[in-house]
Structure 1
Amino acid sequence: MMKKIIAAGILSSVFASASGLAETLISDRFCADPSAHKFGDTFYVYATNDQENSGKYWDSTQWRLFSSKDLKSWKDEGSFLHNSVFKWAAEDAKAWAPGAFERNGKYYFYAPVGGNQIGVAVSDNPKGPFVDPINKPLVEKPRDKNVGDEPIDPAIFIDKDGQAYMYFGTRVPKVVPLGENMVSLAGDITDVVINGYPKDDPKKKYGEAPFLHQHDGKYYFTFSTGWPGQIVYATGDSPLGPFDYQGVIIDYLEINTNHHAIVQDGDKNYLFYHDKVKEGGGNYRRSILVTEMEYGENGKIKQIDLKNRKIN
């Protein structure tokens, strides 16, 4: 039976996976699509708000924020942003999987607004209030070339030379360099090339939820393979790719989406993802969890075995 401690808006639920790693459910509310970060001494997770959707589709119009000092006890910071911050967006535009980043004391929030546009908002505080600094979409279909089927699921990476990149897209992953101001594009949108997919598994292909991080000089491109999808990874020598497929981090779940983020904190690495773990949960009522992620020999990411996990 799940052990929960709920007080003053703070929830802590911990369980062990078959791999022996402790896992934490970050909220008793339904939420999904984590964009996880450590700003200062605090962890933040920006999420989609499954609690407020219809239960029949991902049609919430606001994003939710959670914070923690220790990755165990989490505070619900509320629905910190509504799609109405983007005056150019439709009133019922869906608030889909976001990305966020901090640079030079400013906090940037990248938000898919419906399936055709990505907006950007900025704040002096990770909790907001956020404002739209450009009053137009950062990326828009069909205005911009090569945005693919859906410009959604933005994730931000800043390389050691200071260049920022935004990864996004479904079915074909996309990358575009950002301007130093983080609210403009600084080049063309290009395809991310992934080589070496296992030929014996036709489902093993890019689906959505791109993410990039660096470890021991290598670039790790992680993503979901589809609907349903695994979280898998590929490695390369440049943030622009090409990347070579390496293996699975999280296997197929019993829901039709999979979405993750990775936070590096000192010598620890944490993987955030969503799953169906609460009563009443499902494809449109998901929950976010965090677990430690480990590397093995030659920089291989160890697969997180969730098949036999037990909730304590």
Structure 2
Amino acid sequence: MIKIGNIELPEFPLLLAPMEDVSDPPYRRLCKMHGADMMYSEFISSEGLIRDAMKSKQKLDIFDYERPVGIQIFGGDEEAMALSAKIVETVNPDLVDINFGCPVKKVVCKGAGAGVLKDIDLMIRLTKAVVNSTHLPVTVKTRLGWDNDSINIMEVAERLQDCGIKALTIHARTRAQMYKGEADWNYISAVKQNPNIEIPIFGNGDINSAEKALEYKNKYACDGIMIGRAAIGYPWIFNEIKHFFKTGEKLAEPTVEMRLEAVKQHAEWSADWKGEKLGLIEMRQHYSNYFRGIPHFKDHRRKFLEVMTLNEINDLIGETMEFYREFEMH
């Protein structure tokens, strides 16, 4: 069993990464159903929370069925980070996670996310500000360093642990790599083997299949894996990995019917959470992911992008199901 503060997780937990416009409550619910052990909110700007920005506030929504769940915040100002941790506390998540890894320019320019990798002393001050302002366990997600010439994850891991964080997730790329090139998990292994490190170390980057998850689990000896891009439109990955760990056998890929059922649930929960109109507009970015690799989906995609009501989407799902049944018969 893995412990983060008083949160108990299974022996080798699978975590859903916090992803902007992806890991909202409807999608987290699907991933939980399909085997995710712990999940995080989309990342939330500390300044946005303090200003009471509506979008930031809505990201604080969490539900009991998805626990344990963490809320992730980012920012470059100690006072704002401390205050936003107190605001996060009011909705009673299981933990607060700090984002020191987001490589996106608009975040980095504010001296937040991966921008902090250039100033480790600031990273430590920001972390202490959060740890000292909340009774919740605090965790961190970060990268190896700013670029190949400044990989400092060994020092960072020790100093963050000294601040009082309860777990660390390492995306095994530098900020300069963004999401390109291969993630180098040797650094994760080195941090894990450091005798001074006592907190759980989770690995992130490039895990896109059950076989790779098992290979990396055995090879790099981290305490769990966080899955990001491979889970977009594919919540089944969590149970596929667990099944492979247990049996050494691959689960069959989800059928078109299973994919359509997932879309139906996702759309209903999205409409329920955001309102029908906005919920279905925001669903549009997901359809291509759900049907990646399925023949002839392009013919249906346009229709999915045009539906405006739940009734329409349910009719379209029925029609699409019918098409693929006939397609399989021939």
Give the alignment's TM-score, normalised by structure 2.
0.28
Larger gyration radius, structure 1 or structure 2: 2
**Higher RCO, 1 or 2 (CA under 8 Å, sep at least 6)?**
1
* Higher fraction of helix: 2
